[in-house]
Each structure stands twice: as structure tokens, then as C-alpha cells.
A and B are shown apart, each in its own frame.
Chain A
Amino acid sequence: MASTACFIIVSRNDIPIYEAEVGSAPKEEAAHQHQFILHAALDIVQDLAWTTSAMFLKAVERFNDLVVSVYVTAGHTRLMLLHDSRNEDGIKSFFQEVHELYIKILLNPLYLSGSRITSSHFDTKVRALARKYL
């Protein structure tokens, strides 16, 4: 498992709707430091997302030894992961499974698209996936 990983889901209005620190390392940097990097990476995702039909954009930005990997869903929701591991296949699987979870959230008629994901079930699942793949 990666020692540092910050996972965030950004809605199509550029608003973060889910955030989780999924790294195993003790938190030497707070979540928002990672968020600064992820937020800055949105710029590059915005350009990149339209150049490809693939959902998984792989590593889009490096910040020191941290890498930002992005997965863009069809609805232009972006799953962004800041990590230090190089296990690309694992990250891809992680994104795909989280995407499935996200779709399940979307199917909930009580969930308003674009609003914050507060489901604890979702949170638990995402953390389990992070342990499994990252």
C-alpha cells in the first residue's frame, strides 16, 4: 500500500464532493496540502480530458515524488488520486471500482447529482479498495 495517497472526487462543477486520505503513512502533511496540489492539477486535467477518449488519464502531474493520477467519468466527474506508488495497474483497478461505487451512489434517487457524498458505506468501501489496490 502506498505510504501517501489522497483521493478526491471532483464534481463536474469543480467542487470536491468526496475526499479521503487513504495513505498508510502517518500524516505528516495535512489533507489540505494534498488538496492544494490536486486542485492545481485540475487545470491540466481540464485540457487533457478532451484529447482522449480513455477515462483513465494515468499520471497527469508530478509534484516532487508525488504523482497525480486522474480518471474522468463520462459525466465529467473526476476521480483524482495523489500517490507516491508507481503501481499503475493497481491505480487503474482502484479507479474502476470506485467508479462503480460512484455510479451506485448516483443511482440513489435521494442523491442529488453534484452534491457531497456523505455515505459512510461508500467511505468504507473506498478505503477498503485503497488497501487492496494501492
Chain B
Amino acid sequence: MEDYPEELRTPPVSLVSLVGCPELHHAISAFLHSEQPPINTLALPDFSKISVLARKQKDPLASTPPPAGILKRDWLLKHRTKIPAVAAALFSSEQVAGDPAQWLQLCTDLENLKAVLRGRSTKLVVVLVQTSVNDEVSEDLMIALRKRAEIDSKHLIVFVQNDASELRISLNRLASIFAELCNTYYREEGRKIKARIEKKSFTSSELNVRYCFEAAVYAEFRRDWAEALRFYEDGYRALREMIGTSTRLPPIQRLVEIKAVAEQLHFKISTLLLHGGKVVEAITWFNKHIAGYERLVGAPEIAFLHWEWFSRQFLVFAELLETSSAAIPSTLSPRFGTSENPLTDWEFQPAYYYQLAANYLREKRYCLECCASMPEYSELSTKVGDVPESVMPSAYVGQYARLFEQGDTITVLLLSDSEYVSYAHMEAQRFQDTYEIIALFRKAYESFSGLKAPRIASYCGNRMAREYFIAKEFGNAKQLFDGVACLYRQEGWVTLLWESLGYLRECSQRLGSAKDFVEYSLEMAALPIFSDIGVENSENKRVYGPAGPATLSMRQTVQEEVFNLLKGEHVPVTTDGSCILHVTEDEPICLDIDLVSPLRVAFLASVAFHDQSVKPGSPTMITVSLLSQLPCPIEVDQLEIQFNQSTCNFIIVNAQKYPSTEKFTEDDQRSLVETAPSLTLSTNKWLRLTYEVKSGQSGKLECLSVSAKIGHSFMISCRAESPASMEDLPLWKFEEWVESFPTKDPGLAFYGQKVIQVEEPEPQVDLILGTSGPALVGEDFIVPVTVESKGHAVHSGELKINLVDARGGGMLMSPRDAESFSSDRKHVELLGISGIPEEDESQTDLDNVRKIQHSFGVVSIPILGVGESWSSKLEIKWHRPKSVMLYVSLGYCTNSTEAASQRFNVHRSLQIEGKIPIIISHRFMMPFRQEPLLLSKVRALPGYEHRVSLAVNAISILIVSARNCSEVPLRLLSMSIEMDDDDDSQNSCSVQHIGGFTDNAVLLVSGEEFKGVFSVTPHVDTLNLDVGTVCINWTRDSKLGSEQQDSIVVTKQRLPDVKSEKPPIVVNLECPAHAILGVPFSFYVRVRNLTSLLQEIKYSLGDSQSFVFCGPHNDAAFILPKAEHLISYKLVALGSGPQQLPRITVTSVRYSAALNTTAAAATVFVYPSEPKFNMEESKQETVSSQ
């Protein structure tokens, strides 16, 4: 597009001419230029210069010759820069109002100007320049001036110069008059031309096209885009019709001219359409244009001109699309290729046209090359040899002429076709099409990459690379081909990959990179291509590229070539012989094939150990399997298997080539050498080799790589892969071929690993953890640990002890918590490790590590000889019941030089349950048959509902029971209730031990319960009465009588607080301990009023089957303050055995509380007759206690 002249590329701008008053020209032209639409000015400083406006003198009588061409080259430029639509004569007011001489001069100037403009329809405007508003010229003079100039009154403009606001007004006035007149002028001009077209008053079709073009340009001047477009299209159509009919020029040049004009017209049409936002129309028009001219190739010797022109159409359209702001209309249906939208998505992208432009430019180059090689043409060029020297573009668009110099006269002569052809050839040779093509493809490539269309981008990349290849820039070509090949490889387009690799191979050969050459060749040879059709001939060279057709035989050829090169037998020679690859023994080629390398298809190594783990030093089997997809068998000389433990490395040599391994062992003393009967890799057939490997150190033994040495200067190092995790070969995955396993054993083929675990050596030291059943919470639990050497001496031994929650959850407490919490919060604690002699501990020996934390400990062990033993005890304390895993591990060396010897490890673990030894429970009781009225029982206080209430200053009974809930028998040494130390609690309540305990320790077997009885007497009335803490001293019952004495453990449990309150009323039931059938006895109910109020009580006695009684059934009584009331009944028992007394109910009216005696309190035993007791005392004692 840049090649087009400026006037064609930009829309035309109206032109006005200013004459006179040069000092104002700058201001006026700047203002007019900034107007919308802008107006260009042709400024002439004075009237002597007006001749430039003059018309070329034509003899009006001479008959118009037939047109020599379609469009004049300079016509457009002329109308944009030379022929003004309006001529403005500027006169200052002094000139008008001055002396007569000045007036006369003015008149002359005006006349001259009018004369110059005669014959044109250029409008004349007279501008009267005043310095200020006051500087007015008289009306008469104005009229005189107007008459002189023969103009309308409105075309005489007064221009005020010195006042800023007036200047602005004047400029505006000027601009509007100019705009109006320009419009009129161009309309008139256009109308004239249109009249000619309509009347068809032209002699030739050339003129028709020319008139259409001119009419369109005038319409453009007026900014009447629709009309302009119409005339351009008319002209284009008329031109298309001319192709067969015109005979004016020789055929070749005629076509060239028509195409050049068509190009211009098409350019204008496309520009107008695109600027009007009609993208779809523009593209449709372009397609029409292309379709109309594509076949007009013309004579074969100038076919290249056609393709160059054709390519330029695409390029220009692409540039137009790119620069046009018009977006793809959103109303467009997304369905491409339908009747309403026949365009494809890509056709809206400039990149699409760039790419096509590049393609046609290639076509041009091809035609040019064909021409050059054609014998008849080369004759032609030599014959015409004298290419006319001074050929230049003639006055018409698309025509060329020759300047013919004869003496002083220069005449312009038309060219003959043959002259033109040789001229065109000469011109064409000057251009470097390749770089043009590359630039175009690069544009398309970048654009498509940006559009996320990698495939079409890679198509462009591929073309670009080919051009670089043709231009012999192999470095660039290789880089591009590499990128392209990557995509084809990934998507499995084998034929395309073959093609790209062929170029890459050639590039690396030209660049002298033998390694790359070998890599690309091997990859090519290993591609899954099986077809064997396609004949190679020279014609196909252009089509196929250097690789030739993708066939099986070509694969074989490629492989043979590369192996010949590697053997140094035969070096492939490039066509020009410029660069020859060298492979020598000094610089061997090493290929590294990893898991993602495309060369995996050429060489794949799978390694499987037959076992999963092995003892150190013992042999294990390993299978090395090799696979190649290369079409011809490969003879491998030597295989080297490498492991991560280099002592295991070994070499496999071909037994046929090296019958004795003697030579090798001398060379490679470190490595083991194995032999194989044959090391030939056939296509798609696993070569399986099974050998024995001796495992080295403990840990992981992994096969790293398998390196195959072929010849003296070639080595393929292939990363070993496990059959279990082996990926399919990328390109061969979907091919139909026989799939076989890398190992004979199918199990191994699925699960085999290239890694084997070498076990740790067997330790010969025993670690024994003694244990004695479950641990009890609170005691120091002892776990004896014994280290016994059974064959190894223990040097720098270290014992690690770890306590872990057995139910998971890791540590018993995180290390951070350990610092912030008190020891009470730790559930299980490692207290210490005993058994280390004191003197050792006192020494500050650095080796003697002894670190103990609450769940972790490290102890160093002294040197033990064979057969010696060492023991210690772990003290562990449980604070809560918990199951704990105890891990003890012993690490040691067999001798004192630590670095050389191997470290052995022994691990032991033990689960220990921590259990609660004793469960303590308690119960409060009132004295028998005494019921204080405790008001809190009647009306519970919120928050204290569940708290036991005791009567103040009355004795309550506390029964504490301790139950052995562990499996071990325990010996209970003492049970006591300890008050807190502070005075308050001691004063508020007194607790005394009453009974249930002897001096001897009590043996509690599992599940047994022991009860202690205490009396509690609260002294104060309080809601929170501290009763104290139960302390039980116990010890394990060590029946065995071992020398170790079990320590005494104290288990404490605080009793919950109780309430104490003063009862207002206390009821005592008095009744004999037993009754005798038929013998009457007394039954009293004693109600004591402890308050200083009069208390009313009601009582009732229910009937009973077992007793008859005398006394009131229901009654009420008043009890004086601090007095008591006695209700007495006489009862006679009617039945024997334990009998329920008649039910007594005492109700306090004031507190609305009723006393219902408990069943135990209301039961009496009735003897049938007077019993005979042996122990009178004890009976009496019992009765009195009640």
C-alpha cells in the first residue's frame, strides 16, 4: 500500500488558491486546513505568479486523438495540488481606496486573474483586507470592485485583520464561502463528466473508464462517498469488459495496463467500503475481484508479473483491513459458510490475506525461475539482450515508455512486447522475493499466534522456514522448523512431521552439526510410516522438500545413511558439497534419550528387577530390554548399564564380536563384564537380556541408564524406564502393530521396577523390653530395657526412646505445648532412665548423650563386647489413663571407626495400657430415723440443685468407697480425709473417721470394694462447704517378694462441696429395734422446733395390715419456739417378719413441707416370740445407737 502515491491513498481535499497579501496566507491556510472538512490552499504571494493556474493551451480545432491510455498518471495529483476550485484575490483596503494608480493596478491584476481562469469553472472570490473595523471602504468603491471582478456581492468578502474576534469572524466567513464554492465547483465538474458518461459521448472504452474515475474523484471531493463508490464500480466493470476488446496496445502491455488500472479502482472501492464500515461487502468485493482476475495470467513468460500483481492485491487488502477501524459487525451470524454469510472466520483476519499474498509471491518466484530455466526464453533474453536502458513509466497508469534521445530532441516511444518483457525481467531480478515472502509469512504467523490458532500459525511458520531454507539461512530455518515439528509431533501428523524433519536434517547437515543430523535422521527413520508408493522424480522435489516422500523405503534409506555416517564409511554429501559432516573417534556423538525425547521411538530401554527387595550382598536378577522402531536391524557393540551405586555397573558385550572378555577386563577393571550371544535390535522386537546383579549397600539400588555403543564413535545413552510406569511410544500408540512385553514374565512387564530396595543388614544385638502388665495411673511405671550382644560388639550405641499415643494422633503432646503447660497436663511422661552408673553421668563426656523430654529420650550406651549385656529401666508415669506405644530403637556400629562401618538399627515397640487403679465414690447419710427439715430440699436454689445438703451442727455420715478397677491386686494402706490447710475450712466442718478400717493394710483384689465411714459435722451455714479430699495410699501387692519394693502411691480425690444449713424442724422417729408378735410397744414421733417461731404441724398415721395402733389418725399441734412435741402411739404387731410400720406423715404448715419416712426407717422386725440373745451387750449397744 505504501507503494501507492499519496494522492491515491488519502481521500481528496478541496483546493483553493490565495493570491496577494502574502502576510495573511499562513493564517488563512492554517485555519482552512484545520476546518472540518479541511481545505488545502495554493498560496501565490502576488499576481505575477498566477500563470501556474493557467490552462494548457490546446488547439481547439485539432480533432482529439484517440486516448493513448486509460488513466493519466498525474491527473489526480493535478486536481489535488494545481487546479483550485476557488481562486481568492486578496486586496488591502489601501489598494482599493488609495490613489488611482493603485486602483488601476488592482484592476489589471483582476483582469489578468480572470483571463487565466477563463475556460475553467474555477470560482473567483475577492477579499478586501482591512486593518480594523473602522477602516471601511466606501460603498461605491465596493460596488465598483464587484463589477470589475464580475462576482456576486456575497463573493466579495471583507476581511478584518487586526482585531482578534473580528479576525476569527472573518476567517469563518471565508471558510464557509470557500467550502460552499468548492462544493459547487466540484459538483459542476462532476456533472459535466457525468453528462458525457450518460450520453455515451466517448469514442473509446478507455474514455469511459477515465470518465467514471474522474466523476468518482469529483464525488470524493464533495465527500459523496456513495456516488464515488458507484462510479468507481462502474469504471471497474467497464475496465473488465475491455480485456477482450481493446486492441490499442500490444497484448502483454495491454493486460498489464488494465490490471494496473483495475488495481487502482479496486483499491479505491475497498477503501471506501472499509471506511464506510462495510467489511462484509468489502471482502465480498475483494473475492469478486480476485475471482475475476485470477485466470488472467497472460503469456507464460510474464506469468510472474501476474502473480506479483495478484499477490499485491492480497497484501494491499490485508493492510487495508488491518488499518481499517471497522470491526466485524456483530450482527453477522456466527455460522460461516451459510447462504447469509458465505465468508469464513479467517476471511476477516488480515493474517489470512498476508499468508495468501506470500503464497502468490512464491508462485511469482516459481514462474520467474521457470522462465529463467526455459531454453526458449533464455534465447529470447539474449536476443533482446539490449534491454532498452531508459525505460520509465509513461504518462498513463500501467504503461511504460522509452525515452529516445536523438541529438537534443527527446522523444517518448512505446515499447514492443518483447522489449517490455525483457524490461520486466530485468526489474524482477532486482527484487529479493524471498525476504518479502518471509516478512509476509511472519506477519501472518504472529497474527495467527495471537489469535490462538497454533495450527495455521505453524503452517505459516513452516512456509517461512522453507523460505529461509531457500535463502540458505539454515540457522533461522532450523529454529522455525523445530517449533513447527514440535506441534506436528505432539498431534501425531506423521507425514507433516516427516517433511519438517527432512528440512531439519538438511539444515543441520548444512550447519555441520553432526549430532543434530543424527538425531533428526533417527527420528525420521523411526516414524510410523508404512506406505511404499510414491515415485521419486525430479518434478516432485519442489513438492516434497529434501526428505522426499514419506515411505518405508525412504525411512530405510535415511537409517542406512546415518549409520554409514556413524561408521565413517560413507558421508552423505550435500548437493553443493559445501559442508561435509565429520564423525571421528576423537569427537564421538553421544545421544541422550530421556523420557520426553522424541528419540524414544528409536531406542527405548526398560529395566526390571525380578524382586522387590534384596538382602545386601546377595545377588538378584535384572532384565534389560531394548526396543527400537528403526526399520533396519541395529547391531550394538556394547551395552553399559549404570546404577546409582556405581559398584553395580556392568557391561554387556557382543560375544560374536568379542569372543573373549579378557581384553575388556584389563581395560575396565572396575566394571563387570557380561557377554550376550547377540546384540542385534530388530524392528519392534524387544531384545531381552537377563543378568545377575550383586546388590551393594543398603538403601535404594536404581538403574539409571543404558548406554549402547555402536561403532567407535557413536553412543546412545538411554534413561532406564520401569516397565510398570512406562509411557506408550507417542506416535506408535495408535498404530496397528504387534505389542509385546518388555519381559517374558507378563507380571514383571506390568509391575517391574527399575528400583530395588536393598535391605538393611541383620543386626546381631538383641533389645529386650521387659514389661509387667498394665501401668496404673499415678505410679512410676518401670520398663526394664536390656541390650544383649549376640555377635556384634556395640560401639557408639544410642538408644532412642519414644512414647506415642497408641490410638494415633502422633505425639502425646506437641513439643511446643510441652513448654507452656504444666506437668499436670501431660498425660504420660517419661520421667527418667535409670541404670546408668553415676560416675558416667558426672563426667561431661560429650558422647554420653542423655536427653530426656517428656515423651522422648536419647541415651548413649557404653561399649559392649560380644556376649555382654547392658540394661536400664525406663520410668514412665501416667497422669491419665491412656494407651501408649513405647518405641525403643538401638543404633550402633560394629567397630569404633564410625565412618567406615555400617550402622545397624534394632527397633522394638511395646504397647502399654495406662489404667486407673482405684475408683473412689462417696455417699452422705443422715443418722438413722432422724429427719431434719432442710428447706433447700423443698425449694431448690438455682445452681445448687444437685448439691447435697447437710444440717448444721448435726452429725452426717459420709461413706467413702474405694474400688479396685484394675486387674492387679492392690494393697490399701490407708484412707483418710484431709482438709485443706487454710483455717476456714477446718473450722467450718469437722470430719472424723468412724470406722471400716484397721491398722493392717487391706488387700483389694480386682473388682473388690473397700468402704470407710466418716462423720461430718458442719459448723457454719454455707452453700459451699468444703468437706475435704480423700487420700488413699496404696501399693501393688507384690506377692513374689522381690527385692524391689513397690513404692507407695497416693491417690487423691477431692470431695465435692456440699451445702450446710440450719434445719427449722427436726423429726426423730423412736421405735424399738424389734417387736414381738402380740406384744404392744410404743412408737414416738419427736418433733423439735429449732426456730424462735411458733410452728404448727399436722400429722397423720395411716392404717397398716400388720399393726393395730391406738392414738390419733389425724391431728395437729403447735410447737413453742425451741421446744419439742412428742406424738406417741401404742402399736401391736399382727404379723411377724420385717413389717412396715403404719405410715406417719408430718406436715409443717409454715413451710408446707411433709415428712415421709423412708422405707428402711419405717421397717421393724417382728419376732413371733421373745428371742433369746446370747450377747446381751451388743444388742443393747445396737439399740442405743439407734
By a beta-carbon cutoff of 8 Å, the part of chain A in contact with chain B is 11, 13-17, 19, 28-33, 35-37, 39-44, 47-48, 51-52, 57-62, 64-65, 112, 114-116, 118
Q: From known contacts A30-B543, A58-B338, infer whether A116 and B736 are also in contact, taking CB-CB under 8 Å.
A: yes
Tell me if A115 and B337 are in contact (CB < 8 A): no
Q: Which residue of B lies closest to A117 (CB)?
A: B736
In the complex the two chains form, what is the Cα distance from A76 to B459 in whole Å?
Answer: 23
Contact with A along B303-347 (1 / 0, CB 8 A): 000000000000000000000000000000011111000001111
In the complex the two chains form, what is the Cα distance from A21 to B346 in whole Å?
Answer: 25
Q: From known contacts A30-B540, A35-B493, infer whether A114 and B335 are also in contact, taking CB-CB under 8 Å.
A: no
Q: Does residue B491 face the partner (Cβ distance < 8 Å to A)?
A: yes
Closest 10 CB pairs of A and B: A15-B492, A115-B734, A43-B453, A40-B456, A40-B459, A58-B337, A32-B495, A14-B491, A59-B337, A43-B455
Q: From known contacts A14-B491, A39-B459, infer whether A116 and B735 are also in contact, taking CB-CB under 8 Å.
A: yes
Tell me if B346 and A51 are in contact (CB < 8 A): no
Q: Does residue B1018 face the partner (Cβ distance < 8 Å to A)?
A: no
Q: Which residues of B contact A15 (CB under 8 A)?
A: 491-493, 734
Q: Which residue of A lies closest to B452 (CB)?
A: A43
Q: From known contacts A11-B734, A60-B344, infer whether A43 and B493 are also in contact, taking CB-CB under 8 Å.
A: no
In the complex the two chains form, what is the Cα distance from A35 to B496 in whole Å?
Answer: 7
Q: Which residues of A contact B453 (CB under 8 A)?
A: 43-44
- Not counting A32-B496, A51-B335, A52-B335, a sample of 13 additional A-B residue pairs whose C-beta atoms are within 8 angstroms of each other reads A15-B734, A30-B543, A30-B544, A31-B495, A32-B550, A35-B493, A43-B453, A44-B453, A44-B456, A47-B345, A60-B336, A112-B734, A115-B735
Q: Does residue B454 face the partner (Cβ distance < 8 Å to A)?
A: yes
Q: Does residue B12 face the partner (Cβ distance < 8 Å to A)?
A: no
Q: Does residue B462 face the partner (Cβ distance < 8 Å to A)?
A: yes
Q: Which residues of A contact B543 (CB under 8 A)?
A: 28-30, 33
In the complex the two chains form, what is the Cα distance from A115 to B734 in whole Å?
Answer: 4
Tell me if B492 and A39 are in contact (CB < 8 A): no
Q: Which residues of B contact A33 (CB under 8 A)?
A: 543
Q: Does residue B631 face the partner (Cβ distance < 8 Å to A)?
A: no
Q: Does residue B499 face the partner (Cβ distance < 8 Å to A)?
A: yes
22 contacts between A and B (CB under 8 A): A11-B734, A13-B492, A15-B493, A17-B734, A30-B540, A31-B495, A32-B550, A35-B493, A39-B455, A39-B496, A42-B455, A43-B454, A43-B456, A44-B456, A47-B345, A52-B335, A60-B336, A60-B337, A60-B344, A112-B734, A115-B735, A115-B736
Q: Does residue B1063 face the partner (Cβ distance < 8 Å to A)?
A: no
In the complex the two chains form, what is the Cα distance from A134 to B153 in whole Å?
Answer: 77
Q: Does residue B742 face the partner (Cβ distance < 8 Å to A)?
A: no
Tell me if B346 and A44 are in contact (CB < 8 A): yes
Q: Which residues of A contact B337 (CB under 8 A)?
A: 57-60
Q: Which of B691-710 contact A (CB under 8 A)?
A: none
Q: Which of A17, A35, A40 contacts B495 (CB 8 A)?
A: A35
Q: Does residue B549 face the partner (Cβ distance < 8 Å to A)?
A: yes
SS class, residues of chain B in contact with chain A: helix
Tell me if A48 and B336 are in contact (CB < 8 A): yes
A73 → B minimal CB distance (Å) = 17
Q: Which residues of A contact B499 (CB under 8 A)?
A: 32
In the complex the two chains form, what is the Cα distance from A29 to B493 in whole Å?
Answer: 18
Q: Which residue of A lies closest to B459 (CB)?
A: A40
B364 → A minimal CB distance (Å) = 14
In the complex the two chains form, what is the Cα distance from A107 to B335 in whole Å?
Answer: 32
Tell me if B459 and A16 are in contact (CB < 8 A): no
In the complex the two chains form, what is the Cα distance from A64 to B493 in whole Å?
Answer: 23
A114 → B minimal CB distance (Å) = 6
Q: Which residue of B lies closest to A110 (CB)?
A: B736
Q: Which of A19, A62, A112 contacts B344 (CB 8 A)?
A: A62
Q: Which residues of A contact B491 (CB under 8 A)?
A: 13-15, 39
A69 → B minimal CB distance (Å) = 9
In the complex the two chains form, what is the Cα distance from A19 to B529 in whole Å?
Answer: 12
B60 → A minimal CB distance (Å) = 53
In the complex the two chains form, what is the Cα distance from A118 to B736 in whole Å?
Answer: 7
In the complex the two chains form, what is the Cα distance from A48 to B453 in whole Å?
Answer: 13
Interface centre among A14, A28, A40, A57 (most CB of B within 10 A): A40
B773 → A minimal CB distance (Å) = 65
Q: Which residues of B contact A65 (CB under 8 A)?
A: 294
Q: Which of B446-461 contact A (CB under 8 A)?
A: 448, 453-456, 458-459
B283 → A minimal CB distance (Å) = 12
Q: From known contacts A15-B492, A43-B454, A44-B345, infer whether A116 and B459 are also in contact, taking CB-CB under 8 Å.
A: no
Tell me if B496 and A61 are in contact (CB < 8 A): no
Tell me if B496 and A36 are in contact (CB < 8 A): yes
Contact with A along B1131-1148 (1 / 0, CB 8 A): 000000000000000000
Tell me if B734 and A116 are in contact (CB < 8 A): yes
B262 → A minimal CB distance (Å) = 20
In the complex the two chains form, what is the Cα distance from A115 to B728 in whole Å?
Answer: 13
B1022 → A minimal CB distance (Å) = 84
In the complex the two chains form, what is the Cα distance from A62 to B736 in whole Å?
Answer: 34
Q: Which of B523-540 contact A (CB under 8 A)?
A: 534, 540
A121 → B minimal CB distance (Å) = 14
Tell me if A30 and B456 are in contact (CB < 8 A): no
Contact with A along B733-744 (1 / 0, CB 8 A): 111100000000
Tell me if B455 and A40 are in contact (CB < 8 A): yes
In the complex the two chains form, what is the Cα distance from A65 to B549 in whole Å?
Answer: 25
A64 → B minimal CB distance (Å) = 8
B810 → A minimal CB distance (Å) = 46
In the complex the two chains form, what is the Cα distance from A35 to B493 in whole Å?
Answer: 9
Q: Which residues of A contact B338 (CB under 8 A)?
A: 58
Q: Which residues of A contact B454 (CB under 8 A)?
A: 43
Q: Which of B495-553 contact A (CB under 8 A)?
A: 495-496, 498-499, 534, 540, 543-544, 549-550
Q: Which residues of B contact A44 (CB under 8 A)?
A: 344-346, 453, 456
Q: Which residues of A contact B488 (CB under 8 A)?
A: 39
Q: Which residues of A contact B735 (CB under 8 A)?
A: 115-116
Q: Which residues of A contact B448 (CB under 8 A)?
A: 43
Q: Which of A28, A36, A118 contacts B459 (CB 8 A)?
A: A36
Q: Which of A14, A30, A61, A64 contacts B549 (CB 8 A)?
A: A30
A88 → B minimal CB distance (Å) = 9
Tell me if A14 and B492 are in contact (CB < 8 A): yes
In the complex the two chains form, what is the Cα distance from A134 to B74 in whole Å?
Answer: 52
Interface centre among B338, B462, B494, B549 (most CB of A within 10 A): B494
Contact with A along B416-457 (1 / 0, CB 8 A): 000000000000000000000000000000001000011110
Tell me if B345 and A16 are in contact (CB < 8 A): no
Tell me if B492 and A59 are in contact (CB < 8 A): no
In the complex the two chains form, what is the Cα distance from A33 to B735 in whole Å?
Answer: 22
Q: Which residues of B contact A58 (CB under 8 A)?
A: 337-338
In the complex the two chains form, what is the Cα distance from A134 to B679 in whole Å?
Answer: 53
Q: Which of B717-751 contact A (CB under 8 A)?
A: 733-736
Q: Which of B356, B462, B492, B544 contacts A36 (CB 8 A)?
A: B462
A102 → B minimal CB distance (Å) = 15
A58 → B minimal CB distance (Å) = 4
Tell me if B344 and A114 are in contact (CB < 8 A): no
In the complex the two chains form, what is the Cα distance from A114 to B492 in whole Å?
Answer: 12
Q: Which residues of B contact A51 (CB under 8 A)?
A: 334-335
Q: Which residues of A contact B498 (CB under 8 A)?
A: 32
In the complex the two chains form, what is the Cα distance from A122 to B337 in whole Å?
Answer: 29
B1138 → A minimal CB distance (Å) = 91
In the complex the two chains form, what is the Cα distance from A115 to B528 in whole Å?
Answer: 12
B700 → A minimal CB distance (Å) = 36
Q: Which residues of B contact A114 (CB under 8 A)?
A: 734
In the complex the two chains form, what is the Cα distance from A116 to B733 in whole Å?
Answer: 9
B280 → A minimal CB distance (Å) = 15
A19 → B minimal CB distance (Å) = 8
In the complex the two chains form, what is the Cα distance from A11 to B1026 in whole Å?
Answer: 87
In the complex the two chains form, what is the Cα distance from A95 to B456 in whole Å?
Answer: 24
Q: Which residues of A contact B549 (CB under 8 A)?
A: 30
A5 → B minimal CB distance (Å) = 17
In the complex the two chains form, what is the Cα distance from A47 to B1032 in whole Å?
Answer: 85
Tell me if A61 and B346 are in contact (CB < 8 A): yes
Q: Which residues of A contact B733 (CB under 8 A)?
A: 115
